[in-house]
Structure 1
Amino acid sequence: MIYLIMALIGVAAGTLGALIGLGGGVILVPALLFLGSTFEFFPDLGPQKIVGLSVVMMIFIGLSSTLSYVKVKTVDYRSGFVFFAGSAPGTIVGAFVNKNLDLPSFNLYFGILLVFLAILLLVRDKLKKVQWFVKNGRTSTFTDNQGVTHVFGYPLWFALLLTFFVGFASGLFGIGGGSIIVPAMILLFLFPPHVAVGTSMFMVFLTSIVNSITHISLGNVPWVYAFAIVPGAYIGAKLGARLNKQLNSDTLVIILRLALLIFGLRSIYQGLFGT
């Protein structure tokens, strides 16, 4: 029963992660924390092992969804490697900070991050796009299916600094980083949304390899659960990437905002009061 639950969580994390470009960890980590504290499932999974499980899962979500986005040519490889160069060192630092967090501290800080991400998803459509980063950075172009040419870009120093923070959050909390980088790519760097999602998943794939190696070396990966969750995550990522081409994801984003807000507030409460 436990392994079936893990597989279903993997499918959900993979589908939503690939559909919106989040990476899946932002679904998996709060789900496992919720099930563990409310129904006392997975008593052997502390925050370090949950994060370790999440980062291994994201390798396969990133690989599966990247292969799908490569086929429709919505991956900007140059930007993906630049973002990886900034995020990889951040994941290593975050993983080593993670090992010193107890469960109340993890709940508190992770809850604050979830609430921040919920607010970010809530206001990102209302924020005006910023032209400064494109005007002062190296630019690229992309022509969509409607024949519209998009110009996007960024200063290299800012992209490296931003993605170091994204990598740090990924290593610390086991999230993919797409939940932070995708809005930044769209609002600051003026990426077309589909290119932002495809490039984000490429970065998630590369970063998760480094992230996983670090967490494996720290003994944070519960392989018995990983073998249950990875197949579901891989299948879910394929489904999410396919839906990304066919669906308007606004409804799912609304649901995700509410879920992140609820999980975040609950996590903060548990971190502060321990119940």
Structure 2
Amino acid sequence: MIYALAGMFLIIGLFAGVVGSIAGLGGGMFFVPALLYLGNVYAPGSVSPQMAAGTSLIVIGVTALSSSVSYIKQQRADIQTALLFFLGSAPGAIVGVYLNTLLPIKAFSLLFGLFQLSMFALMMVKDKLKPRSVNWDVRRRFVDAEGVEYEYGYNRWLAVFVAFLVGIVSSLFGVGGGILMVPAMMILFRFPPHIAAATSMLVIFFSAMVGSATNILHDHVNWLYAAMLAPGAWAGGKLGVLAANRMKGQTIVLVLRILILGMAIQMIGEAVTK
């Protein structure tokens, strides 16, 4: 059975790595449910919510590192902005780990499902929201491969505050935080989608390392399951960068909406029936 579990985790890691890398989400929305379900099927009671979140963050770091290296080579990741966001996400990640220890499994499943449901709603309306450009301290320009020029920017203190909230969510639910970071970049700061995704992955890598260090100290990592997920996540991160250059953004967003809604319903259903 261990070989079957390793095979399933390899496929999940590959899929989550591809999707997470394309959209800048990290992949934790797939890792956490897989760990809670498959991990406990193989060894009942072996994966607590805290263990799932901690193990997920380790694998997210692998995905984020893999894709960030490729995005930096393509000059798509805004490194300076990523470092600024990290100033907020790092302490937020530590706070999220401690909040995570207070949640029983039923509350964790319910909150995780409601969180995903709220993100589904945000993704449904984000295209209708007008981008903000009030009091930008920093302004940047980017010209894509087709010659289209984008202007984006942000207020430094607002960026740090948003990143702090993202860091909390990242460690609390083990989702990497990109599901909040990317929409925030696009809606609040007018980041073009491909720059938002690439920069988000770099921020996710930094914050995942901080959150992972704290989880390791609390013994919230299942190293066997992390080792099973990591190879697929690394390869998926690389493949996701390649796919991002060819796939239409609208198609990716549609798939993500369906997946997020499906998992939200599943997690809420599990919490209600337990």
1:215 aligns with 2:211: no
Q: Which runs of 5+ in 2 are unaligned?
A: none
Tell me how far apart the structure 2 counterparts of residues 49 and 24 of structure 1 sit (CA, whole Å). Answer: 16
1:9 to 4, 12, 30: 12
Give the CA deviation at 1:30.
2.6
Deviations 1:142-197 (CA, angstroms, capped at 9, x unpaired): 12223233221111111111111100001110011111111111111011111111
% identical equivalent positions: 39
Output one character per residue of 1:16-40: Cα deviation in whole Å (capped at 9) or x when no partner.
1001110111121133335467xx3
- For the residues of structure 2 that align with 1:64 and 1:19, how far apart are their CA atoms? 12
Structure-2 change in CA distance of 1:180 and 1:99 (3 Å): same
Partner of 2:61: 59
Deviations 1:193-217 (A, max 9, x none): 1111110011011111101101111
Letter in 1 for 2:147: G
Corresponding letter in the other structure for 2:84: V
Cα distance in 2 for residues equivalent to 1:41 and 1:259:
24
User: How far, CA to CA, are the matches of 2:191 and 2:249 in structure 1?
Assistant: 17
Matched residue of 2:56: which SS? helix
**Does the aligned pair in 1 maintain the 2:5–2:38 contact within 8 Å?**
no
Once the two structures are TM-superposed, the CA of residue 41 in structure 1 deviates from its matched residue by 4.1
Matched, 1:69 2:67: no
Within a 5 Å distance, the mapping from 1:17-166 to structure 2 comes to 17-35=20-38, 40-43=41-44, 44-132=46-134, 135-166=135-166
- Whole-Å separation in 1 of the counterparts to 2:67 and 2:167: 19
The C-alpha deviation readout for 1:91-111, integer Å capped at 9, x for no partner, is 101001111211101001111
The equivalent of 2:193 in structure 1 is 193
**Residues 1:150 and 1:24: Cα distance change in structure 2 (over 3 Å):** same
Amino acid in the other structure paired with 1:258? I
Q: How many residues align?
A: 270
TM-score by length of 2: 0.94
Q: Give 5+ residue unaligned stretches, structure 1.
A: none
CA RMSD of aligned residues (A): 1.5
Q: Which is further off, 48-57 or 120-129?
A: 120-129
TM-score if structure 1 supplies the norm length?
A: 0.93
Instruction: Supply the distance in 2 between the matched residues of 1:78 and 1:245 (Cα, whole angstroms).
Output: 23
Q: Which runs of 4+ in 1 moved over 4 A?
A: 34-37
